[in-house]
Amino acid sequence: MSESVGRVLGTEDATPLSFWVGVGPEAYAQLDDVLTTERQVPGVGAVRISGVVTAVRSRHEGAQFDSDVFDIAGGLLPAQVQEAAEVTVTRVEPEVFVPPRPGAEVQRASGEDRDRALYFDGMARQVPLGFSRDGQPVFLNPDFLDGTRGAHVSISGISGVATKTSFATWLLYSLLHSGALGAEAANTKALIFNVKGEDLLLLDHDNTKIDEAVRDTYRRLGMEPGAFKSVEVLAPPREGDANGIPDVACRSTGVDAFYWTLAEFCQLNLLPFVFADGDDDRQQYTMVVHQVAARLRKEARPKDNGAVAVDGRLLTSYRDLVDLVCERLSDDETRTEWAGSAIGLGTVNAFIRRLIASGRDIGRLIRGDLPPKGAVLSSEAQVTVVDLHNLPDRAQRFVVGVVLRSEFERKEKAGTARPLQFVVLDELNKYAPREGTSPIKDILLDIAERGRSLGVILIGAQQTASEVERRIASNSAIRVVGRLDAAEATRPEYGFLTQAQRMRVLMAKPGTMFVAQPELPVPLVVNFPFPAWATRPAEAGSAPAATARSVTARVDPFDLAEDEDDIPF
Amino acid sequence: MQITVDAWDPSFADNPESPSRSDRAVVRADIELEPADWRPVDAPAAGPRRIAVVDGVRRIDARVELLDDTPEHRGERWPGVCVSWAAGAVVCDLDGRSSSGAEAAVVDFAVERGLFAAVDPGADFGRYPYRKVESADPGELIAGAQTAMAELEAKVASTCAADAELSVLDGPLRGRTRLPHSVGYIKSHHRSYLQGELNAVVERLAPGQRTPVFHLMSGWPRYTWYLRLPGTSSRGWAGVARLEAADDLTEEAAIALADATAAALPPLGSAAHKDARAPQNLTPIAGLERRLKRMLGDPRLLLRSVRAASQG
């Protein structure tokens, strides 16, 4: 039998969308509790109205003046303490939108009633999100995540306390380990860009700091606590290192360096991504960028170790390439060939200035002295973490842009949405700002609008959703909000939050998220469990055995021969 | 029988004053002090910490006119009033025996309604059961309602009086003298019972002081004394309340009760900005009256139900 909480108030309007409940003397109602009531409708029968508590209040009845509280507390004035709770209706069943009757008994929904109120009963598959305030599990409908009925996640919150990346990784973990994706989970891939610190580089290490209570929360949500099983970390090569050793401090195994050869740079037309700043796009020299890129593609002849020869000159580093381009553009004879006709000298010089400046940032990523790696993303690991935190801003944009484009093109060519590819990208307001255009923003828009059918799912995080391109935010089926800045919380981008929730996000604690999903009219408040994987080296347990392979058997000794026909004996 | 409900707001012409009795007061002033020694008496340092306050409220919901259509009395008109009244008790627990600390709790209350008239309307008046009043005089009808309320107050008082160290019953003590530690509390003074020098003592009272106990034989016998509550002014009769104790007490017991009230009641006096009848309308009584008035129900709704019943 459900526990009675109180009765529908008659002194406040009860509507089919929200109503107030007078809380009984022996009961309580807290925010986020799920309550349910029933009324009889002539000709229809019983209509069950369920909802989530979005506000609670208590007051002295019988007090007229503020100072009466002292008389009441001093035992002089009789008064009654009365609590009331506002319920925002989530579900009316059957869908006859009638208000509950004042005086009707209101119960705390539990078990099936709660599932029904929160639409969990209609979810054929459930992704655990964590626990609500009352300690009951909260689920997400993966139909809105995997592209069946919707896709993409938008996570907002101020940095530090909003735990955006923790939630994003938790969501991935839950998705991959809860069984919601079924057998498909094994082939599902995730690409995570690590932009701050080395937080995400230890996803495959067990967290030694969590206790049995945390482990138990994972089991209660139907999954085993642990680290991600298959992780590959890609890091940029160390600055000034000729061998391309990955620039990572916290781990030595399971790490690989990522870079592009000069040949790839020219063939794949990567130059525009060097100028992927929103600021760059407003300048005249974008014309020059595309002209030079086209010229490089046409002229560059690939040589050994990714080097290229342009006009008979061997280029083995990005700086060589920069020098050559500058030379050609400075020379009056070749300028029109490289920059195109009718380009002012000022514009060309602006381009040269920026190109030279980019040498410092991008030099270590574009190599002519290392063997080509093929696709940057190895297709073996389930989770690929691309570490950007050591890179300057221009290089970060370059990597994000190039990696996203190659992934998107790969999925586009594959022609099938499955297996899914998740992309976790923080600081979306930097890569897809509301104002201006850039090559990265174009790709992100493409992902937001077409990714659902192509199987590329964006899990974007940002401090301020108001500064992210509107079409990306509006294409996100699932919106998640952690702690927000007070001014940010009032912006229309957070209109899905209830009035009380807008106040609550200002003081949301780390680990608390407001999750809006399309089926539910009210965002649910979720406490997600502490990560079971290490988020800093001090927490990390031993490295998983699988990553040791990267040291010993990165190159298969039997795989030396280029083509199998060529047997030497 | 034909019933008409007065279209006017029933609260008009409500005269709560019961007819005053004009017999001369017989005062015996030598109970506590000899009349020659009369002076303001200071309150003792400590008083009761658990005080019950009992009060009632009454409201006329509708005035009706009953038109007799039986053959022998055809055309006779009888006035009637539909009255709601309620009584309740507050126990002020100043030391906080309960878990939540000091608390003033409404421990008991009751609401009753009735139709007061000289003849039985014979119709079902819904919430208002018929109560017979001997006279058709409007004043007597009200007085009948007042008596019914006093009875209800006495009933409520009897349930809580045993629990309290001091019970303060609003209004004269008449008919409620059997309750232990109980005093009647009279807020307003229609007549002055003391003469000459003794009366001057009342005017000399400082806030918190009382007059000596005297015995009053005016209508019915009782002990009584005046007490000045702290308030805006301490001159004249401002803030002076009169208290009554049962005649069957010993003189010592009456004096002890007087001391108890002098210690307990001044802190309960209400503040002028919160209550028009401050300070005599004690804070718990004001709170209780608000609560009871709310329990009487919405007058417009009740008037509507009376109208509906009269047409049915």
pLDDT in tens, A502-533: 888 898 888 899 999 998 888 999 999 988 88
pLDDT at B19: 36
Quick one: A232 exposed, middle or buried, by C-beta within 10 A (0-12, 13-18, 19+)? buried
Task: Clarify whether residues A447 and A539 are in a common domain.
Answer: yes
CATH number of the domain to which A80 belongs: 2.40.30
Cβ–Cβ contact A287 with B under 8 A = no
Task: Clarify whether residues A96 and A234 are in a common domain.
Answer: no
Task: Clarify whether residues A392 and A527 are in a common domain.
Answer: yes
Q: Which H or E element spans position A50?
A: strand A45-61
pLDDT band (50, 70, 90) for residue B213: very high
In a domain, A78, yes or no: yes
Give B82→chain A minimum CA distance, Å: 27
CB contact under 8 A, A62 and B286: no
Quick one: angle between helices A286-299 and A345-362, nearest 10?
70
Which of B49, B53, B92, B109 best probes binding to A when mutated, by most A CB atoms within 10 angstroms? B92
Please state, in angstroms and as integers, the Cα–Cα distance from residue A104 to each residue in A5, A6, A12, A39, following that order: 11, 8, 14, 7
Out of A349, A371, A393, pick the residue that ends a domain: A371
Using one digit for the tens of pLDDT, what is the confidence trace for A94-144? 989 999 999 999 999 988 889 999 888 888 888 999 998 888 899 999 889
A456-462 vs A153-156, strand pairing mode: parallel
Tokens of A189: 């891939």
Higher pLDDT, B197 or B83: B83
| Residue B74 pLDDT greater than 80, yes or no | no
pLDDT band (50, 70, 90) for residue A564: low
pLDDT at A67: 85
Using one digit for the tens of pLDDT, what is the confidence trace for A16-61? 999 999 999 889 999 889 999 999 999 999 999 999 998 999 998 8
In a domain, A221, yes or no: yes
Domains recognised in chain B with CATH numbers: 2-12+24-311 (3.30.2170)
pLDDT at B98: 57
Give just the sign of the alpha carbon dihedral A208, A211, A217, A220.
Answer: positive
| Residue A442 pLDDT greater than 70, yes or no | yes
Degrees, nearest 5: CA angle A143-A148-A154:
65
Instruction: Give residue A316's domain range.
Output: 260-371
Task: Clarify whether residues A359 and A264 are in a common domain.
Answer: yes
Which of B165, B282, B291, B295 best probes binding to A when mutated, by most A CB atoms within 10 angstroms? B291
Out of A98, A117, A136, pick the residue that ends a domain: A117
Token match 């008082």: residue?
B157
Task: Clarify whether residues A457 and A503 are in a common domain.
Answer: yes
The candidate with the shortest Cα–Cα distance to A289, out of A334, A365, A353, A363, is A353
Cβ–Cβ contact A60 with B under 8 A = no
- Is residue B128 classed as helix, strand or coil in its secondary structure? coil
pLDDT at A547: 61
| Residue B1 pLDDT greater than 70, yes or no | no
What mean pLDDT comes out for the span A554-564? 51
Task: Clarify whether residues A506 and A390 are in a common domain.
Answer: yes
Mean pLDDT of chain B: 82
pLDDT band (50, 70, 90) for residue A549: low
**Neighbouring C-beta atoms of residue A552, cutoff 10 Å:** 8
Out of A93, A117, A141, pick the residue that ends a domain: A117
pLDDT at B162: 77
List the alpha helices (DSSP H) in A313-432: 318-330, 332-339, 345-362, 393-414, 428-431
Task: Clarify whether residues A283 and A227 are in a common domain.
Answer: no
| Residue B297 pLDDT greater than 70, yes or no | yes
DSSP letter string, A235-284: EPBPTT-TT--B--SS-SSSEEE--EEHHHHHHTT-HHHHT-SHHHHTST
Using one digit for the tens of pLDDT, what is the confidence trace for B101-151? 777 888 888 999 999 988 887 777 778 888 888 888 888 888 889 889 988
In a domain, A560, yes or no: no
In a domain, A454, yes or no: yes
Using one digit for the tens of pLDDT, what is the confidence trace for A177-229? 888 888 888 888 899 999 888 888 888 888 888 888 888 989 998 888 888 88
Please state, in angstroms and as integers, the Cα–Cα distance from residue A309 to each residue in A262, A304, A322, A459, following that order: 10, 10, 13, 40
ipTM of this complex prediction, to 2 decimal places: 0.75
Task: Clarify whether residues A229 and A247 are in a common domain.
Answer: yes
| Residue B5 pLDDT greater than 90, yes or no | no
What mean pLDDT comes out for the span A408-421? 85
In a domain, A246, yes or no: yes
Please state, in angstroms and as integers, the Cα–Cα distance from residue B207 to each residue in B236, B240, B265, following that order: 12, 9, 11
The candidate with the shortest Cα–Cα distance to A113, out of A29, A47, A48, is A48
pLDDT band (50, 70, 90) for residue B15: very low
> How many whole angstroms separate alpha carbon A219 and alpha carbon A141?
19
Task: Clarify whether residues A366 and A394 are in a common domain.
Answer: no
Neighbour-count burial for A8-19, b at 16+ CB within 10 Å, e otherwise: bbeeeebeeebb
Tokens of B74: 């055809």
Name the domain count of chain A: 3
> How many whole angstroms separate alpha carbon B92 and alpha carbon B106?
9
Give just the sign of the alpha carbon dihedral A26, A29, B106, B61.
Answer: negative
| Residue A83 pLDDT greater than 90, yes or no | yes
pTM for the full predicted model: 0.76
| Residue A1 pLDDT greater than 70, yes or no | no
Q: In B, what residues contact A, Cβ < 8 A?
A: 90, 92-94, 96, 101-106, 267-268, 271, 274, 283-284, 286-288, 290-291
CATH number of the domain to which A535 belongs: 3.40.50.300
With beta carbons less than 8 A apart as the criterion, state whether A90 and A32 touch: no
In a domain, A532, yes or no: yes
| Residue B22 pLDDT greater than 50, yes or no | no
In a domain, A556, yes or no: no
| Residue B198 pLDDT greater than 50, yes or no | yes
> How many whole angstroms separate alpha carbon A227 and alpha carbon A449?
32
Tokens of B241: 């309340």
3-state secondary structure A279-322: HHHCCCCHHHHHHHHHHHHHHCEECHHHCEEECCEEECEHHHHH
Neighbour-count burial for B202-222, b at 16+ CB within 10 Å, e otherwise: beebebbbbbbbbbbeeeeeb
Please state, in angstroms and as integers, the Cα–Cα distance from residue B21 to each residue in B191, B219, B226, following that order: 10, 8, 21
Nearest to B102 among A65, A73, A80 (CB): A73
| Residue B16 pLDDT greater than 70, yes or no | no
Task: Clarify whether residues A100 and A138 are in a common domain.
Answer: no
Neighbouring residues of A552: CB distance < 8 A, sequence distance ≥ 6: none
Higher pLDDT, B225 or B135: B225
B277 φ, ψ (degrees, to nearest 5): -100, 25
With beta carbons less than 8 A apart as the criterion, state whether A6 and A29 touch: yes
Task: Clarify whether residues A403 and A543 are in a common domain.
Answer: yes
In a domain, A231, yes or no: yes
CB contact under 8 A, B287 and A78: yes
Task: Clarify whether residues A175 and A289 are in a common domain.
Answer: no
